[in-house]
Structure 1
């Protein structure tokens, strides 16, 4: 019987340990995709923080030239956070993929 107590107590010890809490960065809410293709009046909680940030209309693949550029300070709303690229829609109505590192939260 004492042979079982040792492995069980070790398992209970590990089961009672909790994982460390990681602080989540504040992210703006995602835009409802149903508004795409229609006039959208905001809010636009992000801005492009890189000068002439390139965008791609159909996806972030880079096997072809970019479809255009967003100027520094262009206000955008986040549609999908896809890791290194994000799908955004701009105040001018362009919905495209842009590098996530080019976006900054407007405070």
Structure 2
């Protein structure tokens, strides 16, 4: 029996894999104009919060995507940045996954 994990997010009428949420917010989302990619952490930040986010300088610098992805649910790096790494992260490590047993 497999564990139920939060791999898919339902946003409006779309079903999006968690690992592709960044790309969705920046390129596919109907509200993509409301997001801006932060250079340091490489995360999409709402434009109205961008200056506050950038001024705190507390975000974690992103690794190259060839090494690790960044989970937008919990802000942890996911390595390896592939289906296996993401599945392991969501099942075992993601503190924001409500279906994961703590």
TM bin (shorter chain): under 0.3
Between Structure 1 and Structure 2, the one with more helix by share is 2
- In the superposition, the TM-score normalised over structure 2's length comes to 0.25
- Whose radius of gyration is greater, 1 or 2? 1
Between Structure 1 and Structure 2, the one with more strand by share is 1
Q: Which has the higher contact order (CA 8 A, sep 6+)?
A: 1
